[in-house]
Structure 1
Amino acid sequence: MISVLTKTIGLGAVTGLRSMLGPAMLCFYLNREPQSFKRRALKLSSLQKVTTVMAVGELIGDKLPFAPDRVNPTALAGRALMGALVGAILFKDGGKSAYRGGIIGGVTAMLAAGVGYYLRKKVGQATEIEDPYLGAAEDLIAIGSGFTMVTY
């Protein structure tokens, strides 16, 4: 069983790589957990559908040449906000401080966004692999990591 802190860091990092993938994975996780606070707070099946569609759209849009860099201040702020939301909900669901979870999730998302961006650029320069292919590889890493965080 993965701890709440590990899930928060993991989904925060996933959110840093793909801003809507973390929230989509969180909804998937909360819908699978019968003892989750979702029973008391909100119905997530519709939200899961919306976040999944948004995550798929982002996976496609990331490959387009006019997609903004994730380290652009506006994009980075959005990732930090989504990471904070994911972290706060995970911590609250685990009976811990939502504030602390939000800080951890938001900071992790920002760090992962920067590391992922610069690593992708460096790998592209070193290997001459075209950016859309690197983006697809990054998608697989983010999806695999996210599913690991929410299924164990």
Structure 2
Amino acid sequence: MGATSALAAITVGRLPQRFPVAARWLVFAGAMAAVALVMPHVPSLAGVAVCFALVGVAVGASVVTIFTIGADAAPAGRLATTMTLLSSGIIIGQGIAVALVGGLADAAGAMAALTAVAVPSALGLVLAAVHLVLVRGRREPAPGTAVASAPEE
């Protein structure tokens, strides 16, 4: 999962600009949620390993996409603060998730832990959809660029 996540994170910047970041987030979050829903029902260890590799691609691409959205939305002079908040959110979220899902796996088994992965994956999909709705109608900047505001009349 780590290797495919890193590979996706490195290559997501090469996606065409006509594939806007809001749509990217929705696609990658959707892929993550779909695999998370299927994973508990995969009958073999090899199948679960393939699922983890696919989730890694979706996670890596989603993280880079979310950081791009954060960078584009950061107020002038606050890019470092925005990136720090996003990075800290990942670390805190990962810690909480590991503690909760680890406890769940210990108490209820691996199937429950695999099923629990679907919850945050579905939440990510919902957030991506909300973001897409919010940016629809506005011209979305290409990744890494800012859009100048219209002059006041």
Per the normalisation by structure 2, the TM-score is 0.43
Per the normalisation by structure 1, the TM-score is 0.43
Larger radius of gyration: 2
